Amino acid sequence: MPSEIKTVRFDASKYGGLDRDTLVRMYRTMFLSRRLDDREIQLKRQNKTFFQISGAGHEAVLVAAGLLLKPTYDWFFPYYRDRALALMLGVSGYEILLQAVGAKDDPSSGGRQMPSHWGNRRLNIVPGASATGMQFLHAVGSAEASLYYDKFPRALEQARQGPQGQSLTHESDEIAYVSGGDGNERRRIFRGG
């Protein structure tokens, strides 16, 4: 007589209110982030890329941040270990590998930026400099600009008339996310409004 398979009903209250699909999405993103990391290490050993920075061990906190923040709405000034965040925001694994090998088809920089220097205009991910910490000044400036535009709406309209104004976005409750590392990981979120 075969034994019956016992199914357990999913109880979201046990998982901070997260539903099954969200938990699966989070796990898949953490797994993909780690696998991309591993693949970049292989590419480096094969001399197909000359630079690799691991994001291993950072996946869970970055996936959680990516779950709460909004791509194309909030602003992101990432650190080079923020691979899982980039994935959660909508950067594909393929795009990450294009950047890793410096491919001309890399949508972030056309192969001109070092690997793990995340950038995506569509998602509001601002590419960073190699010097760790440079992104903090840009993030604070972004948060300050958001406050300024809220206080002076006419300034926002004038900025939109400028040479690059067609790409200017602003939301009164947008967030500027920034992270960096100094051996003790630091992540900050600045609220614009």
pLDDT digits (tens, 9 = 90+) for 33-72: 999 999 999 999 999 988 888 889 999 999 999 999 999 9
- Residue 121, token pair as written in the block: 């205009």
The C-alpha angle 126, 63, 105, rounded to 5 degrees, equals 45
Lowest mean pLDDT among 6-15, 43-52, 154-163: 6-15
* Mean pLDDT, residues 114-142 taken together: 90
- Residue 159, token pair as written in the block: 């900025």
| Domain contains 187 | yes
Cβ–Cβ < 8 Å for 79, 136 = no
Q: What is the pLDDT of residue 176?
A: 96
Lowest mean pLDDT among 22-31, 69-78, 163-172: 163-172
HEC profile of 91-105: CCHHHHHHHHCCCCC
What is d(CA 87, CA 32) in angstroms, rounded to the nearest whole number? 8
Q: What is the pLDDT of residue 149?
A: 95
Domain extent at residue 119:
15-191
Q: What is the pLDDT of residue 178?
A: 94
| Domain contains 6 | no
What is d(CA 106, CA 92) in angstroms, rounded to the nearest whole number? 11
Share of the chain above pLDDT 70, in %: 92
Q: What is the pLDDT of residue 84?
A: 96
pLDDT category at 187 given cuts 50, 70, 90 is: low
| Domain contains 8 | no
Instruction: Indicate whether 182 pLDDT > 90.
Output: no
What is d(CA 87, CA 66) in angstroms, rounded to the nearest whole number? 8
pLDDT category at 17 given cuts 50, 70, 90 is: confident
| Domain contains 7 | no
Instruction: Indicate whether 192 pLDDT > 60.
Output: no
* Mean pLDDT, residues 108-135 taken together: 89
Contacts of 11 (CB under 8 A, 6+ apart): none
| Domain contains 53 | yes
| Domain contains 2 | no
Q: What is the pLDDT of residue 23?
A: 95
| Domain contains 142 | yes
Cβ–Cβ < 8 Å for 67, 22 = yes
Instruction: Indicate whether 85 pLDDT > 60.
Output: yes
The CATH number given to whatever domain includes residue 125 is 3.40.50.970
Total Cβ atoms within 10 A of residue 130:
11
Cβ–Cβ < 8 Å for 138, 76 = no
Q: How many structural domains compose the chain?
A: 1
| Domain contains 10 | no
The C-alpha angle 35, 132, 97, rounded to 5 degrees, equals 25
